[in-house]
Amino acid sequence: MPFALSTERERETADIFSRYPNKLAACIPLLHLCQEQNGWISDEVIQFVAERCEVSTAHVQGVVTFYTLFNQKPVGKHQIWVCRTLSCALRGSDQIARHLQKKLGVHIGETTKDGLFTLREAECLAACGQGPMMLIDKTYHENLTPEKVDKILDELTGEAK
């Protein structure tokens, strides 16, 4: 079944195209919009974006595989990104990553069986003075301890029930 955007997102698409000098330049923002709706970039989304931007599917696929923020497979409701850059590592990000893996029962790059969380590592999340830190969806959580992580996850798990 071909991918289609909702009516509201179609309006956003028109706004995106109006801000760029050509359709190719709108490829990345359009991919983000499609991912917001679909949760990931499927082959159907790639085809949709290629047609709308008037480029090849190979071009769109190249963009998707280059940028780590594009999901190439279905992901959990919440995406957890643990920063692993030196400043966070020096403050214990590997302990936080290990704690998350144990608590969630998944490895980095995997999604929990209930589909609630996908665990990832990021090279830098630009909060070097507040490490260790993680990004969940669009919210930064800084100066983490295993106890703070547990509280954050418990809040998100309770929200889903």
What is the domain partition of the chain in residue ranges?
Answer: 7-66, 78-160
Pairing assessment for the beta strands 134-136 and 78-83 based on DSSP bridges = antiparallel
Task: Report d(CA 153, CA 150) in Å as an integer.
Answer: 5
CATH number among 3.40.50.300, 3.40.30.10, 3.30.420.40, 2.60.40.420, domain 78-160:
3.40.30.10
Q: Measure Cα distances from 63 to 42, 53, 93, 133, 147 in Å.
A: 13, 13, 29, 27, 38
Return the percentage of the chain with pLDDT > 90, whole number: 89
What are the tens digits of pLDDT across the range 18-57? 999 999 999 999 999 999 999 999 999 999 999 999 999 9
> How many C-beta neighbours within 10 Å does residue 28 have?
20
- How much is the average pLDDT of 75-85? 94
Alpha helices (H) along the chain:
7-18, 27-38, 43-53, 57-66, 86-90, 93-104, 146-160
Max distance between CA atoms of the chain, in angstroms, equals 49
Q: Residue 118, class by beta-carbon neighbours within 10 Å (0-12 exposed, 13-18 middle, 19+ buried)?
A: buried
- How much is the average pLDDT of 99-110? 96
CATH topology of domain 7-66: Arc Repressor Mutant, subunit A (1.10.10)
Angle between helices 27-38 and 57-66 (to 10 degrees): 70
C-beta separation of 68 from 104 below 8 A: no
- How much is the average pLDDT of 117-141? 93
pLDDT the model gives residue 159: 63
Q: Which of 64, 94, 65, 101 is nearest to 80 (CA)?
A: 101
- Whether 161 shows a pLDDT value over 70: the answer reads no
Return the percentage of the chain with pLDDT > 70, whole number: 98
Task: Report d(CA 146, CA 96) in Å as an integer.
Answer: 6
